[in-house]
Amino acid sequence: MFKHFVNLQWKSFFRSSNFGKGLALKIIVGFFAVYMMVSFTVLGIGLYFILQKTYPDTDPMLIVSGYLLYWVLFELFFRYFMQKLPVMDIKPLLLYPITKSKITHYILARSGLSGYNFLALFIAVPFSVVLLSQGYPALQVMGWLFAIVCIILTINYTNFIINKSDTVLWLLGTLILALYGLEYFNVFPVKEVVGQWFFNLYRHPILVLAPLLLAIGTYAVNYNFLIKKLYLDASLKKKSVKVETSDLTWTKRFGDIAPFLQLDLKLIWRNKRTKMQVFISLAMVFYGLFFYNMDSYGETSTIYLFVGIFMTGIFLSNFGQFIPAWDSEYYGMMMSQNIPLRKYLESKAGLISVSIAVMFLLSIPYVYFGWKALALNFACALYNLGVNVPVILFFGSFNKKRIDLTKSAVGNMQGTSATQFLVILPLMVLPSVLYFTLKTFVSFEVALITLSALGIMGFAFRKNLLDKITEAYRKRKYTMIAGFKEQNG
Amino acid sequence: MITTQGLTKKYGSQTVLNIEHLEIPKGQSFGLVGNNGAGKTTYFSLLLDLIQPTTGQIVNNNVQVDANEDWKPFTASFIDESFLIGYLTPEEYFYFIGELRGQNKADVNALLANFEDFFHGEILGQRKYLRDLSKGNQKKVGIVASFIGNPQVIILDEPFANLDPTTQIRLKAIIKDMAAQKEVTVLVSSHDLMHVTEVCERIVVLNKGEVVRDIQTSAETLRELESYFAGNLQTAEDE
């Protein structure tokens, strides 16, 4: 019976209408996956030696144990966004003479083989191999590795028990921050205490029974829960959320772009993928810390310009690159309604501009790294505002791939085409090159002033630029409508 | 009101629509019938400038639709669910359409009050997104939204499909009512011959993209249409 299931799975993968389409995209995604795997493996191999070098007095195993709790919490946190029990696929199976218990085991077993479960193993397995080669006792290392596998499976099944509950997500987020806070302010040595528990797993292989029982337990909970809910109106039904409508009348003050602005705000807030973009954007304000904390670059390195463009323009590129594909589901309606295309684009431009301003305000604390950091970010914000907003809108006119808003947020490449990769050039590379040239041959100040001036000029000519962009959208209208209609495009 | 002249639409070498001349006067309730692939939706899409004609043009109230957008303020339509915005509630959607058509909330509410019967208590105040409504209820929302803002031309593609019997009867009454006032030009397509003959003054039959019948509705029309499509069946069997 299982053979049949696997066979179905296989076919659904190779016969999906997506397969074969967009080969270039697949290669890039594949490349990325390989890159992740390789870097994880390298990390797994190197981890032991890095830890040994940094903390010569402590057993690297103990240090790793200290971080395991954070790993578990982080995985749970991120899986909330990424992983979903594939219950919808089994709808057709309900009608056939297959016992419900088999179907349930099938879904659960399949989720156990999900790719997310292997990610951590790419670190854990090479790490264990290194441990063995360093003369750690085989039985204990194998026991530890087995425990890790059990923990991964426990995470996997716990995630389905959590079942997309927002409350748990917030709880997890707070817990991570709280634990880190306790640690950081020396209130309670979380890593040491919890690390000891995990370290015991390694020291006494018999304790491996605990994670094993947890994994079996969570599996059983899921099984009992699912088998009772294997009905069309229970777990197989797509959830419909009760709507909380919010009053957006304050947008009225923006005049005739107000209805579009309201629509865009709802679009962003009520759909997972777009909502995620907001959170990613806000988190990206910390991106600069990676670079500013390293002294090797020098105060005015081009890397900081790139960082500045990236930080202030993260929402611009993440959200903007898929304009107008966000509206692809109803683009036909938009085009036959009484909608001035110009107003539609103005609203999008307005929204992105606000995001740039917000991101700049959030990045002000970088002044801690010197006034040059602030000046750089300011110039970048201006450049984004004046030049990159029209650029991204213009590139949007080449979008013709549908985005299904109801699809999940992470790893969702819908709507991606060559345009998305091409747009990086003018968006980020061009200002970087410009800055580098001016800074090297003239001065830092001139480079910044030039970028700011370009931004201000772009802003001054915004009306004309928008006219041109509107024209571009008009020209490609039919292609867009046809493209957006194609499912799975 | 709507003049179609020398209109063709080709995909590659295949002609999917070929209308030499079609004149729809103001205030007429106009029905379009035909089998799958006859070109009904293609014609409506051309009328809304959603696809580009290969040759010819459609002039809607003196505006050539593929050259100028001025037909949009007085033309309303519902083609399929892709005309709805899934993440809005029905109310929000109505207000949004209202806004686009220069109607404030009060205007829209006044209009919606007329359709309480039609909605059958399943649309308004449900606190549900449109994407979570059933197909039939989605359709109701789309149809009523096309009435917002006093349009002069209303285009409805397959409005009766997916509706329950009660709603079908109510929708027929609504369309007949509009037709009686002779103000609004209503274009309806359908697979259901009975419904179209009931609500439309004039029925055009499309077959493989060509106009094959153009009938002023009378008591005989339903039988005439039925025999046409049955005959179609006959010839198809003969082939």
Distance from the A456 Cα atom to the nearest Cα atom in chain B, whole angstroms: 32
Structural domain boundaries in chain A: 2-10+20-228, 249-485
Record the pTM: 0.73
Distance, in Å, from the CA atom of A46 to the CA atom of A55, rounded to the nearest integer, reads: 14
pLDDT tens digits, B144-201: 999 998 999 999 999 998 888 999 999 999 999 888 888 899 999 998 899 999 999 9
Distances (CA, A) of B59 to B32, B56, B179, B210: 18, 10, 21, 19
What's the N-to-C CA distance of chain A in angstroms?
33
**Whose CA is closest to B198, among B215, B228, B218, B183?**
B218
Contact (Cβ atoms closer than 8 angstroms) between residue A333 and residue B84: yes
Distance, in Å, from the CA atom of A102 to the CA atom of A245, rounded to the nearest integer, reads: 42
**Could you give the 3-state DSSP secondary structure of residue B210?**
strand
Contact (Cβ atoms closer than 8 angstroms) between residue B40 and residue B79: no
Residues in chain A: 489
Is the Cβ pair A330, B83 closer than 8 Å? yes
Nearest to A266 among B49, B83, B87 (CB): B87
Q: What is the ipTM of this complex?
A: 0.84
Contact (Cβ atoms closer than 8 angstroms) between residue B153 and residue B184: yes
Contact (Cβ atoms closer than 8 angstroms) between residue B148 and residue B100: no
Write down all domains in chain B, each with its CATH number in brackets.
Answer: 2-11+22-238 (3.40.50.300)
Q: Which residues contact B226 (CB under 8 A, 6 or more apart)?
A: B193
Contact (Cβ atoms closer than 8 angstroms) between residue A87 and residue A100: no
Contact (Cβ atoms closer than 8 angstroms) between residue A291 and residue A307: yes
Among B41, B42, B74, B88, the residue to mutate for chain A (most A Cβ within 10 A)? B88
Classify the phi-psi angles of B208: left when phi > 0, otherwise alpha if psi is within -120 to 50, otherwise beta.
Answer: left
Q: Is residue A489 pLDDT above 50, yes or no?
A: no
pLDDT band at B9 (very low <50, low <70, confident <90, very high): very high
Is the Cβ pair B129, A338 closer than 8 Å? no
pLDDT of residue A471: 92
Rg (CA), chain A: 26
pLDDT of residue B90: 92
Angle, helices A302-312 vs A371-383, to 10°: value is: 50
- Supply the DSSP string of A257-293, one letter for each residue: GHHHHHHHHHHHHHSHHHHHHHHHHHHGGGHHHHHHT
Contacts of A245 in chain B (CB under 8 A): 89, 91-92, 127
Q: Which residue has the higher pLDDT, A422 or B98?
A: B98
Burial class (CB in 10 A: 0-12, 13-18, 19+), B125: exposed
pLDDT tens digits, A373-414: 899 999 999 999 999 999 999 988 888 888 888 776 555 667
Dihedral sign of CA atoms A228, A231, A233, A237 in order: positive
Q: What are B29's two structure tokens? A: 């309730």
Residues 368-407 on A with a CB inside 8 Å of B are 405-406
pLDDT of residue A238: 55
pLDDT band at A112 (very low <50, low <70, confident <90, very high): confident
Kind and range of the H or E run holding A469: helix A462-475
pLDDT of residue B238: 53
Distance, in Å, from the CA atom of A483 to the CA atom of B79, rounded to the nearest integer, reads: 17
B25 touches chain A (CB under 8 A): no
- In sequence order, the β-bridge partners of residue B204 are B32, B214
Distance, in Å, from the CA atom of A234 to the CA atom of A216, rounded to the nearest integer, reads: 24
**Could you give the 3-state DSSP secondary structure of residue B30?**
strand
pLDDT of residue A67: 85
Distances (CA, A) of B202 to A343, B21, B136: 39, 15, 26
Pairing relationship of beta strands B202-207 and B153-157 according to DSSP bridges: unpaired
The residue of chain B nearest to residue A481, with distances taken between CA atoms, is B50
Among B69, B77, B87, B154, the residue to mutate for chain A (most A Cβ within 10 A)? B87
- Supply the DSSP string of A297-324, one letter for each residue: G-TT-HHHHHHHHHHHTHHHHHHHTTTT
**Could you give the 3-state DSSP secondary structure of residue A244?**
coil
pLDDT tens digits, A147-192: 999 999 999 888 888 766 778 888 888 888 888 888 888 888 888 8
Is the Cβ pair A336, B50 closer than 8 Å? yes
pLDDT tens digits, A12-26: 666 655 555 556 666
Is the Cβ pair A330, B99 closer than 8 Å? no
CA B184, distance to chain mean position in Å, is 12
Dihedral sign of CA atoms B162, B164, B169, B171 in order: negative
